Amino acid sequence: MRSFNFSAGPAMLPEAVMRKAQTEFLDWNGTSMSVMEMSHRSPEFMALAKQMENDLREVMAIPQNYHVLFVHGGASLQFSAIPLNLTQAGDTVDYFDTGVWSSKAIAEAKRYVNVNVVAGGGENPTEIPDASQWKFSADAKYIHICSNETITGLEFKEPMLDVIFAQGKPVIADMSSNILCREIDVSKYAMIYAGAQKNIGPAGLAILIVREDLLGQARSDCPKLMNWDVYANNESMFNTPNTWAWYLAGEVFAWLKSLGGISAIAAINQRKAQNLYHYIDQSGYYRNTIALDQRSWMNVTFMLPSETLNSAFLAEAKMAGLLSLKGHKAFGGMRASIYNAMPEEGVDALIAFMRAFAEKNP
Ligand code: PMP
């Protein structure tokens, strides 16, 4: 019996994908070996890589003028790779500072360029300031956002995104914790990046979606394995990729397709998030502190009436088969990460547990 695992990442993977991987673990696709024992240059693996890319292109409707790159180093390596690929020393770039992951991206970019913080700052903001307060710089090479702050569950939504797109600058988005959760128009972004370990597959892989005109500008001293051109020119196989993670990511994309694509999973995700926030809001017991119109669909944070109840809540939740609900230490409280692989029954079970806990601990 598998528990419902609310971990922020590495996170739950779709059970159907895990079961398929289990059945073909020793003999993948009639090759009489495991997919992770085979050369990444073999025709079989090259076909898998092509299929994986095509499936991702299909589910996200990625336009032809975008490259899809499969890279090492997680999302964090892109915090450095972005300025190294897109700027020269002395350039200015615009960053929103909406939480821990934005701040980390900013700190890394500051090693290479002048960073203008458009808005935000402070510790764990629970709200993105109103667009009237934003201060873009005239000469920014790009605008960077973390589209979903995983620790607090603070997410950029359409009206604000539209103001950002309207600046006419290349927009770069860290979508590590909300990629594939709903339909987006890729063509509005210059570059999207995401670590795999939430909505894509196991850790050890990051996916970049890069508009082709952004290639060819890397600094001469940009390390080869951070240079997007090198990945684009070598089918993301300049060196040996994480073949196991590629395989599982491919299975996740195929699973998404079989469900009916992103619009189908988005409808489920919306229901899961709405049900959980609705329960929290009307409980009069639990509290979510994020601005109402910026609440994440993927990471739902909530506080108990008293911090002293936290350990009992976590212990009893674990006994009920509801795992990894502890909030990030930087923010406290609880966090339920409800990525694509979390079934609706998992959220229903969490709400039922929360209701019973509140009744028992008035
Ligand atoms: N960005 C966001 C929004 C994240 O949630 C995380 C990881 N939790 C990262 C970046 C860093 O990812 P990685 O560990 O893959 O470098």
What average pLDDT does the structure give for the chain? 98
Q: Which residues pair with 171 in a beta bridge?
A: 143
CATH match for 15-259 among 3.40.640.10, 3.30.70.1250, 3.60.10.10, 3.40.190.10: 3.40.640.10
Flag whether 41 is marked binding: yes
Assigned token pair, 121: 């700052």
pLDDT digits 0-9 by tens, 253-270: 999 999 999 999 999 999
Residue 351 has pLDDT above 90, yes or no: yes
Question: Residue 338, Cα to own-chain centre: how many angstroms?
Answer: 12
Nearest CA to ligand 1 atom 4: 176
Percent of the chain with pLDDT over 70: 100
Taking 90 as the threshold, does the pLDDT of residue 209 lie above it? yes
Q: Using the CB atoms, write b or e for 52-77: b if 16+ within 10 Å.
A: bbebbbebbebeeebbbbbbbbbbbb
- pTM score, whole prediction: 0.98
Q: Which of 250, 226, 233 is nearest to 36 (CA)?
A: 250
pLDDT of residue 353: 98
Give Cβ neighbours of residue 60 (< 8 Å, ≥ 6 apart).
Answer: 180, 184, 186, 209, 262
Do the Cβ atoms of 192 and 175 come closer than 8 Å?
yes
Burial letters 104-125, b for 16+ CB under 10 A, else e: ebbebbeebbbbbbbbbeeebb
CA–centroid distance, residue 76 to ligand 1 (Å)? 6
| Residue 134 per-residue DSSP state | -
Convert the pLDDT of each residue in 70-102 to its tens digit. Answer: 999 999 999 999 999 999 999 999 999 999 999
359 Cα–ligand 1 center, Å: 36
Pocket (CB within 6 angstroms of ligand 1): 9, 74-76, 101, 146, 150, 174, 176-177, 195
Rounded distance from Cα 165 to ligand 1 centre (Å)? 23
275 belongs to an annotated ligand binding site: no
Ligand 1 atom closest to the Cα of residue 9 is: 8
Question: Per residue in 299-322, pLDDT tens?
Answer: 999 999 999 999 999 999 999 999
Ligand 1 pocket test, pick from 71, 76, 103, 335 with the greatest ligand atom count within 8 Å of Cβ, gives 76
Classify domain 260-360 by CATH number.
3.90.1150.10
Nearest CA to ligand 1 atom 5: 150
Residues 244-255 have a mean pLDDT of 98
Taking the centre of ligand 1 as the mean of its atom positions, its distance from the CA of residue 27, in whole angstroms, is 33
Q: CA-CA-CA-CA torsion for 83, 86, 89, 93, nearest 10 degrees?
A: -70
Residue 1: is its pLDDT beyond 90? no
Provide the residue ranges of all domains of the chain, joining segments of one domain with +. Answer: 15-259, 260-360
Could you identify the atom of ligand 1 that is nearest to the CA of residue 73? 16
Residue 5's CB: how many other CB atoms inside 10 A? 19
Measured by CA distance, the residue closest to atom 2 of ligand 1 is: 176
pLDDT of residue 253: 98
Consult the annotation and say whether 239 binds a ligand.
yes
Q: Is the pLDDT of residue 53 over 90?
A: yes
Look up the ipTM and state it: 0.99
CA of 101 to the centre of ligand 1 (A): 7
In whole angstroms, give the CA distance from residue 316 to residue 352: 13
Catalytic residues: 101, 174, 198
Nearest to 148 by CA among 106, 98, 184, 183: 98
User: 91 a known binding residue?
Assistant: no
